[in-house]
Amino acid sequence: MLSRRNPQLNRHGELIHLLSIEGLPRAVLTQILDTAGTFLSVNDREVKKVPLLRGKSVFNLFFENSTRTRTTFEIAATRLSADVINLDINKSSTAKGESLLDTIANLSAMHADMFVVRHSESGAPYLIAQHCAPHVHVVNAGDGRHAHPTQGLLDMYTIRHYKRDFTQLTVAIVGDIVHSRVARSDIHALNILGVPEIRAVGPKTLVPGDLAGMGVRVCHDMAEGIRDADVIIMLRLQNERMSGALLPSAGEYFKNYGLTPEKLALAKPDCIVMHPGPINRGVEIESSVADGTHSVILPQVTFGIAVRMAVMSTIAGNQA
């Protein structure tokens, strides 16, 4: 039975689903980050596998396209020795009119142990977690504008790897925040981990008005937003989620909010630059910055596999 207090935790406070970072105890986040650190060395082995999920079946259910995220989940599950089943749901059952819960019921009957779910509708992973068998675990791989918890966790792992201590940092999140589930997950995680200064930077049309209630300082001026920052997280312009004219042009956006070497010079000298990908070069970030010494964008991808291994192995070891 799902806990009414937090549907992600069992009665012992252990993680059984990862649906959102919001509301999770700091100890749970720290446990995942610590566990991810132990998996990084697996990447360097000749045989890149550990037996923690041997005999388990992980179903990747991507109702929304994402080659990068699905690939990293597949690699992570395979390195844990799970049997991985990738289903292109849009071209199968739901395209034929089958309901989401009927799809889940049928897949559960195939002895699934874990569902990794990406869906365009916010809340879909919660619905699945409420209706799947008690032994099945659910990982949210991105739902609507709501949350992308594993991206948030790999961002936290990246920050901790380079900066060690969260409690002394200024973190600026720049760009299309209103459409970004990554930004929401990052903000919740940064708050839980004790970051004292979180800034949301972007035009008024792309920054939600309710962020102050989450302890976030809103800046519509790029220079103000990134000045003396320790970490800058650049976000992709999500044109596919925009309706109406939210921006005058990509060129105008880059002029005001694109990260260039000149703007980066306003941040701390050892500032790191992050991006969840895919990058729009010349729109959100200049290539010289994306490929420069401050960029940790490629290490983020490497860390993402270890973090997803940590999430899956952690929840698989806990009982509902």
Binding-site residues for L-aspartate, please?
A: 96, 181, 236
Please state whether the peptide bond connecting residue 278 to the residue before it is cis, i.e. omega within 30 degrees of 0: yes
Closest to 131 (Cα-Cα) out of 99, 100, 101: 101
Strand-by-strand arrangement of the 272-274 sheet: 216-219, 197-201, 170-174, 231-234, 272-274
Phi then psi for residue 192, to 5 deg, are -60, -35
- What DSSP element (H or E) covers 156? helix 149-163
The annotated binding site is made up of 68-69, 96, 118, 148, 151, 181, 236, 277-278
- Amino acid letter for position 129: A
14 and 182 Cβ atoms separated by less than 8 Å: no
Phi, psi angles (nearest 5°) of residue 105 = -60, -40
CB 246, CB 237: distance < 8 Å: no
The binding site for carbamoyl phosphate consists of 68-69, 118, 148, 151, 277-278
Hey, which bits of 53-112 come out as E strands? 57-62, 83-87
Q: Residue 12 carries which side chain, given as an amino acid letter?
A: H
CB 145 within 8 A of CB 241: yes
